[in-house]
Amino acid sequence: MTTTRHLALPLLAAAQAQKHVTHNEALTLLDALVQLACLDKDRTAPPPNPAEGDRYLLAAPNPTGAWAGLSGQIARFEDGVWIGLQPRPGWLAYLADEGELYLYGAAGWAPLRTTIQSLQNLGRLGINTGADGANRLAVKADAALFSWDDVTPGSGHMRVTLNRRSSTEEAALVLQSGYQTRALFGLLGNDLVGLKVSADGTAYAQGFSVHPASGCFGLGQTATPVAGLHLTTLRSGSGPGVVTQDVQVNSFGGDAGATVPPVATFVAQVARGVPGAPAPIRALDRFFGFFGAGWRPDGTYSSNVVAFTGFAEEDFTASGNGTGLDFLTTAVGATSRRSVVKFRANGALELQPQAGAPALGTAAGQIVFDSSAGAFRGHDGTRWWRLTNLPRFLATTNFDNVLAAGTWTRVQFNTAEANDHGAFAAATNRFTAAEAGLHAFTANLAYKRNGTSAPSAFEAQFYRNGAPAGRGRAALTGPLVDGVSCLGLATVLKLAAGDTVEVQARLTGADGSVAAADSLFSGRQLP
């Protein structure tokens, strides 16, 4: 054997003359091949002015000039001539112009990264860090990118698969802070896609879960949605509080041929206590609450200034489950919400009382309950009108009112048998309008003779603010029959707030009386 097996270095022969020549040739070959670094691999002919020791990979199939016949070899310029060195499989060469390592194999020279791209069955891989037995793939970087295959190209999809052994294990993304787990996302010991969160890396709270069959969404500690959206957040406490256990929303149901049409429902179930030991709810506990806040010019969010809640009207028992709904808003110029409308357990609609009708934000169709008037009011776009509990009265007199002949005299109805809102004053015998609007009045006056007097006429009319109202006047002429002759008055008057109405009567030709027994004065505000 005259050369070495791998690098083909010349060997010294026994009793060889000029041994230094053979030795130096071997050293020059070592100098060329060890730590092999070539200038280029893409040239097809030698450069015009090579330097001693220059090396090139002859990757071209048919190089020319002094490189003819050296395709695939390493061309070395030594002592003014080009010498070809035949590579062996497994040799590595660094290409200076590309900054790449090339590997020689059965197909010739190929970039080493091509080989790395096809690595199989690696035990561990660490990128910028060390992998270990538990984390066989470890990456330390500010970011990592997974993108669809635009080189082959592929389908355009990008999917990351986490596969577990069975439904009792986890296939999850673990989110940590300082290597302490704060969240788990994925299949967490069952077939529901879920999120669990933790403040200490030890105790976990269920954030949400999604049912694999229905696609329904659940939030909270024990949320296991089957046919809708479930929200579960139990908490302990002795007073009323938000203790939602389960909220369910069904987006649709049934197939195209189903007899039951699709329906969207919202169901809330609440409990006191903790997930492992729920306790009955109490009166005023909320089943659910929707709250709204807004950003303010002072650079903060307002408090929850609008809300819609469902609440318990009683402590729940097996036989008593009274509930109600409460709508809350914040008045113009205020910062705290208050209840405005409730639907009570007894089916009643309850408008929360306000001290007077609102002055701002009024529009046609609005209704309020005016606690000052004890009445509902409606707005017609211009003003508030009383809708209920309208002022009304019935007044009588407990004595015969004497009427001097020829003189209009106020009839003293001094007894109020009915007097809603105190609009009629028995002391003055007058009705006073509490607010502007139409008012209807009636009066009945019976004639009573005074001795043998015989008046020729009996008249009566309504007076407004001390003057004849001009409407609703009545009169009888001719012989008046004692206890039989009566006058009936009726009118509708448009009154301003504070206007007064009374009844006055007059006899002509002789005096007489308005009989107490058959006389009355009544009135009411029209809606």
Task: Say yes or no: 45 and 80 in one domain.
Answer: yes
Task: Say yes or no: 365 and 473 in one domain.
Answer: no
Q: What is the pLDDT of residues 261-304, one digit of tens each?
A: 555 556 667 788 876 788 899 999 998 888 898 999 999 999 99
Task: Say yes or no: 76 and 177 in one domain.
Answer: no
pLDDT for the residue 396? 97
Is the pLDDT higher at 382 or at 19? 382
Binning the chain into helix, strand and coil, the percentages to the nearest 5 are 5, 40, 55
- pLDDT above 70 (res 226): no
Task: Say yes or no: 254 and 191 in one domain.
Answer: yes
Residue 481 CB neighbour total at 10 angstroms: 11
Task: Say yes or no: 74 and 178 in one domain.
Answer: no
Q: Coil, helix or strand for 114?
A: helix
Q: pTM of the prediction?
A: 0.51
- pLDDT above 90 (res 328): yes
In a domain, 87, yes or no: yes
Task: Say yes or no: 499 and 404 in one domain.
Answer: yes
Q: Where are the beta strands (DSSP E) in 211-301?
A: 217-220, 230-232, 244-249, 266-270, 272-274, 277-279, 286-292
What is the rounded average pLDDT of the residues 65-73? Answer: 92
Is the pLDDT higher at 215 or at 476? 476
pLDDT for the residue 278? 86
- Of 279, 306, 324, the residue that ends a domain is 279
Is the pLDDT higher at 339 or at 384? 339
Q: Coil, helix or strand for 519?
A: strand
Name the pLDDT band for 237 (thresholds 50, 70, 90): very low
In a domain, 447, yes or no: yes
In a domain, 300, yes or no: no
pLDDT for the residue 364? 86
The Cα–Cα gap between 461 and 489 comes to: 7
What is the rounded average pLDDT of the residues 66-74? Answer: 92
Place of tokens 């190929």: 110
- pLDDT above 60 (res 234): no
Name the pLDDT band for 238 (thresholds 50, 70, 90): very low
In a domain, 5, yes or no: no
Token pair of 335 as six digits: 């910062």
What is the rounded average pLDDT of the residues 150-174? Answer: 91
pLDDT for the residue 500? 97
Work out the percent of the chain whose per-residue pLDDT is above 90: 53
What is the rounded average pLDDT of the residues 377-394? Answer: 86
The boundaries of the domain holding residue 273 are: 170-279
Q: Looking at 87-91, 406-410, 514-518, which range is the least confident one?
A: 87-91
Name the pLDDT band for 236 (thresholds 50, 70, 90): very low
- By the 8 A CB rule, do 3 and 11 touch? yes
Task: Say yes or no: 100 and 185 in one domain.
Answer: no
- By the 8 A CB rule, do 162 and 186 touch? yes
pLDDT for the residue 527? 83
What is the rounded average pLDDT of the residues 229-255? Answer: 40
Place of tokens 């009166």: 283
- pLDDT above 50 (res 242): no
Task: Say yes or no: 400 and 486 in one domain.
Answer: yes
In a domain, 501, yes or no: yes
Q: Looking at 95-99, 227-231, 300-304, which range is the least confident one?
A: 227-231
pLDDT for the residue 387? 84
- Of 279, 309, 324, the residue that ends a domain is 279
What is the rounded average pLDDT of the residues 380-396? Answer: 88
Q: Looking at 147-156, 199-208, 236-245, which range is the least confident one?
A: 236-245
pLDDT for the residue 23? 66
Q: What is the 3-class SS of 46-111, one letter each residue?
A: CCCCCCCCCEEECCCCCCCHHHCCCCCCEEEEECCEEEEECCCCCCEEEECCCCEEEEEECCEEEE
Task: Say yes or no: 475 and 377 in one domain.
Answer: no
- pLDDT above 70 (res 402): yes
In a domain, 8, yes or no: no
Task: Say yes or no: 402 and 372 in one domain.
Answer: no
Instruction: Please report the sign of the dihedral spanned by the C-alpha atoms of residue 179, residue 183, residue 186, residue 189.
Output: positive
pLDDT for the residue 311? 93
What is the rounded average pLDDT of the residues 374-391? Answer: 84
Is the pLDDT higher at 260 or at 412? 412
- Work out the mean pLDDT of the chain and round it to a whole number: 85
Task: Say yes or no: 521 and 398 in one domain.
Answer: yes
Is the pLDDT higher at 380 or at 362? 380
Alpha-helical runs (H) found in 243-288 = none
Residue 20 has phi, psi (to 5 degrees) of -65, -30
Q: What is the pLDDT of residues 25-54, one digit of tens each?
A: 666 666 556 668 889 999 999 999 999 889
Number of compact structural domains in the chain: 4
pLDDT for the residue 169? 95
Residue 494 has phi, psi (to 5 degrees) of -90, 110
424: β partners: 431
Q: What is the pLDDT of residues 497-526, one digit of tens each?
A: 999 999 999 999 999 999 999 999 999 999
Name the pLDDT band for 6 (thresholds 50, 70, 90): low
Instruction: Please report the sign of the dihedral spanned by the C-alpha atoms of residue 387, residue 389, residue 391, residue 396.
Output: positive
What is the rounded average pLDDT of the residues 172-193? Answer: 93
In a domain, 326, yes or no: no
In a domain, 136, yes or no: no
- By the 8 A CB rule, do 74 and 36 touch? yes
Name the pLDDT band for 472 (thresholds 50, 70, 90): confident
- Of 279, 296, 323, the residue that ends a domain is 279
Task: Say yes or no: 213 and 237 in one domain.
Answer: yes
- pLDDT above 90 (res 447): yes
